[in-house]
Amino acid sequence: MDASGKQQLMKHDKPKYRWRNLRNTALDRLSKSAVLVPLFHRDGDVHVWLTKRSSKVSREKGSVAFPGGMKDDADADEVETSLREAHEEIGLQRSQVEVIAVLPPNIAFGDILVTPVVGFVSPDFQPKPNEEVDAVFSVPLKRFLSDPGHYAKLVKENELTFNLHFFRDVVRDNTFITYGLTAHICIEVAMVYLQRPPSFDYYFTIRATLANPFILAESYLRHHFGKL
C-alpha cells in the first residue's frame, strides 16, 4: 500500500493551489499558513502524529492540531513553512521528512488559507515539543475512517451543509479530541492513502468520493472566491 498510497496522494497535488500560483487570484489576499501531516509506519500500519496546543498560543488553545503555522517572509513556499513550523513545534528535522504532496487548501477563521503538506517521517523520530505544544501523540490513520469514538454535528454555512467531525482517543491514559479542520484533513488523507471511504457519513449535502475526497474544501473555495 505504501507506494500506491503515496501515488494516490500525489494525484491530488494540484499546482493551481500552490502559493506561487495564487498571485492575482482572490485567494492571494488571504493570510497564508501551512500544516504538516506527518505520517509514519508502525507495526504494519500508517500512523499520523498530532499535537495538543498549549495555553501559550494565540488561537485554538488546548485543541488538537497538526504542527504548522503562519508563513514567514523568509519562507519560499508552503512546504518550507510546514517544515519550519514542525521543527520549531515538535523538533522534527527536515532530513527526517519525505514530502509527498501539497493538498488543496482550506479556509480557517474566514481569512486564513491553510495548506496541508503531507510527508512521511522517519519511524525513529522522537518528538521534542516546545512551549506551544502540551502533548504530541499518534494514532493509526485508519482510525479516521472508523466509527468507534466518532461523532458528528451538522453545520450550515451559507449554502453549504456539512458534518463537523469529532474523534475521541485515549493515548497513554490521556484523552484527546480531534475535531474541526484537523479531523477533516485526517479523514481526507486516510481516504486517499487507504483508498476506502469512511464507515460514517462524511459530508451531508455534498458527497465525497474516492475520486474527489477534497470536494468540500474545493466547493468552499469556489463558493466564496469564484472560479480558480
- Give yes or no for a contact between 110 and 148, defined as CB atoms under 8 angstroms apart: no
CA distance 128 to 136: 8
Tens digits of pLDDT across the chain (228 residues): 577 999 999 999 999 999 999 888 888 889 999 999 999 999 999 999 999 998 887 777 889 999 999 999 999 999 999 999 999 999 999 999 999 999 999 988 888 999 999 999 999 999 999 999 999 999 999 999 998 999 999 888 767 778 899 999 999 999 999 999 999 999 999 999 999 999 888 775 666 678 788 887 787 777 666 655
- Give yes or no for a contact between 37 and 118, defined as CB atoms under 8 angstroms apart: yes
Q: Which domains does the chain have, with CATH numbers?
A: 2-225 (3.90.79.10)
Q: How many CA atoms lie within 13 A of 128 on its CB side?
A: 7
Q: What residues have CB less than 8 Å from 8, skipping those under 6 apart?
A: 192, 193, 195
In terms of pTM, does the model score above 0.95? Answer: no
Buried b (16+ CB within 10 A) or exposed e, 144-161: bbeeeebebeeeeeeebe
